[in-house]
Structure 1
Amino acid sequence: MSEASVPPAEPAPAPRRSALPAALTVLTVVSGFVDAVSYLGLGRVFAANMTGNVIIIGFAAAGAPGFSVLGSVTSLGAFLAGAVCAGRLTGVFAGRARATWVRSVFVTEAVLLAVATAVAFAWPGGATYTLIAVLAWAMGLRNATVRKLGVPDMTTTVLTMTLTGFASESSLAGGTAPRTGRRIASVVAMLAGATLGALLVLHHGLGWPLLVGTLLVAAAAAGYREPASDADDIRSA
């Protein structure tokens, strides 16, 4: 067969993009809801932002009024317990597809938020420490998983390093401004979640923002997909 008669090779299909950044953006919105509930409705305690709890414990130790050492310690302890569970899950899912592992964590977080939602509706104004513990447990589970995934600028609960990178690597600072869209999306997502969560807490109580957060995480779990790849397992996350 002559060279001229050889049919041209078909172009390789474009690789499918991971849905993980979009899912983590949704979880960032939920973090805003969770901290709005915990800080505004559960005694000025953070369930997602552990840096805030460490600072609050320091304030309370110095005698500043209106801060709960017990609430912050409860949140820290539950958060660490959730992170331990995430480490155990990493071992359980070792060698399996990353999507299976991540979706399982998302579903577990949705279940924990659903439990918190049920408690908030059943005992409005009560069960404060139960709610703190359940919410912080869910956030610890998620944070440890997101840390393992290592998606740049998508921690889902804190923005300090994201904002630092946005400024220090900007064109104004002489940088190339990498991942600007992702960084802006993270900030906007957190701001939107905190704003909407605060509005719901202030006008409708704790149950409704938790319900919205539960539905968002459940939607992220249901919609999460990953391109098929032999190397795309938990060890390569």
Structure 2
Amino acid sequence: MEKIIKKAIRRGQKTLSEYDSKQVIQSVGIPITREKLARSRKAAVAYANEIGYPVVLKGCSDKAAHKTEMGLVKLNLTGAKEVRNAYDEIIGKGFELDGVLVQEMIRGEREFVIGLSRDPQFGPCVMFGIGGIFTEVIKDVSFRVAPITEVDAEEMLGEIRMKKLLDEFRGSPAVDRNDLINALVSIGDIGYKHSEIAEIDINPLIIRGSKPVVADALVVLSEQKKSRRRAAS
């Protein structure tokens, strides 16, 4: 984690790419989608074959927070030809990219959000709630000031209005609450220990079977204070 953050700060980045954001999140034990970063069409096809179809291709850059709107996301690709065409389309957009993320196409009927933000008064705060494209509309979330305990995290799960989605749902098993609790505690620890991270947005956190998996994420870096050179006497 430290290596990724330090490199981004040296480069003057304001955010991490999706790939680097998820590497930070995975480093504290939170499961992410199977994925690899391709820097050629040939590598993209090889990674897709390795991961297994269907796959998603995403243009990857710290400057591409809104990938869908930029035309940098290609979903449900089922073969090598589709992967090659999607790779060419993404590269052809002309954006400065670190590569193209080849990611397993993960499906789930339940989507949640986990976040970290910094409040001017309370400091780092952890958020949990209903995720997906309607997060900002539904606004069904709970908060705690970091660091948080497992008891805090368990209480957060019970505070959202749609908490029944955590139980058995449409033939799917109940969500593994221990995994969610561990994820919330871990995100709180990142916020408490790493002041260089301003925000984390994990959305969606998709429930596959009973297990939560991070399908997309963004880490925003804190504004770095510029060192002042001493004036010559």
Normalization by structure 2: what TM-score? 0.26
Kindly indicate which of the two structures has a greater share of residues assigned to helix. 1
Normalization by structure 1: what TM-score? 0.25
Higher RCO by CA contacts (8 Å cutoff, separation 6 or greater): 1
Structure possessing the higher radius of gyration over alpha carbons: 1
Kindly indicate which of the two structures has a greater share of residues assigned to strand. 2
